[in-house]
Amino acid sequence: MELIPFSLWGDALWCGQEVVREAPHEQAIRSLFPDPIPARGADLDTEADLVPEPHNRFDPRSIAVRVHGKVVGYLPRDDAHRYHPVLSELVAQGLQPQVPCHLWVSEWEPADWEGKGAQGTRFHASVAVALGQPHMLVPVNLPPPGSYHLLPPGSGIVVPGSEVHPDVLAPFFRREGECWAYATLHAIEEEDGIQDRHRIVVEIRLDDEPVGRLSPRLSAEFLPAIHYLADIRAETAARVTVRGDRSASEVILYAARSHDLPATWPDGLARSPVASPQWHYWATKEAN
């Protein structure tokens, strides 16, 4: 079965997760770089697949890191065991987990002090991936039905008014204290309290339930994208985190503002998958 690429969510802003056992995969790593490797070394920023190896005879919970289909290393044993359940669940649903990956390589001639017996060049590779905590790798709800486009990540914005919706937020409370979720952004009209005038602001919804509205100033930074997608009959989706419990909670929006969107945006519309029993179970099994 061919797996569908799935970019893991998370708050890892840089490739800080160590990858080990690169040495046995020197040839695979070399193939990703020009030959010869520049004297100053070389680096590469790309995407990596995280591949559970249940038939690995040394450790059935090992996680291989593959770039362009080639193994370049493994997650350290303890980390692999922490991430194995969620990654294996994604693969079982036909999804291939992917993360940002940084590779750095260098090559040099043996030094004089290594002796006359030293032959050939020395090679070193370092591989790291950007990986959030296991409970923050996937959203806990389904994407919006029909056609939608997920805004690229952006700096966090606390959604005003989210604390007044405990019943709406209750399904998103987790024992870890936080989770990722799909939200949708909607342009709505509200009174501004001055001479009965009206203004357009952005309302944030979780599973079509309102959880708060952005200020007029912040709304103006998202409305162009929302209006554009509405014109092509698509919803605007975004990543949010839900934090807290019934006593205190907040929703934080992580979405690029219209002026920060890449020139190629949008590069294609997504369509929500049919909610299979397995997907629904995975998306809701951690709910309190």
What is the per-residue pLDDT across 214-240, written as a single tens digit (0 to 9) for each? Answer: 999 999 999 999 999 999 999 999 999
- Flag whether pLDDT at 288 surpasses 70: no
Give the pLDDT band (50/70/90) at residue 258: very high
Q: Where in the chain is the domain with CATH 3.30.70?
A: 4-129
Mean pLDDT of the 153-173 span: 82
- What's the whole-model pTM score? 0.82
b/e sequence 231-250, b meaning 16+ C-beta within 10 Å = eeebbbbbbbbbbbeeeebb
Residue range 4-129 forms a domain whose CATH class is: alpha beta
Q: Which of 168, 176, 182 is nearest to 244 (CA)?
A: 176
Chain-centroid distance, C-alpha 121: 38
Give the pLDDT band (50/70/90) at residue 281: very low
Better pLDDT: 148 or 112: 148
Phi-psi region of 244 (alpha: psi -120 to 50; beta: other; left: phi over 0): left
- Flag whether pLDDT at 9 surpasses 60: yes
Give the pLDDT band (50/70/90) at residue 11: confident
Q: Which of 49, 37, 252, 216 is nearest to 136 (CA)?
A: 252
- Flag whether pLDDT at 270 surpasses 80: no
- Flag whether pLDDT at 272 surpasses 90: no
CB atoms within 10 A of CB 224: 13
Lowest-confidence segment of 46-60, 91-105, 162-176, 220-234 by average pLDDT: 162-176
Q: What integer pLDDT is reported at residue 10 of this predicted model? A: 83
Cα–Cα distance, 277 to 136 (Å, whole number) = 21
Q: What integer pLDDT is reported at residue 280 of this predicted model? A: 41
Give the pLDDT band (50/70/90) at residue 100: very high
- Flag whether pLDDT at 195 surpasses 50: yes
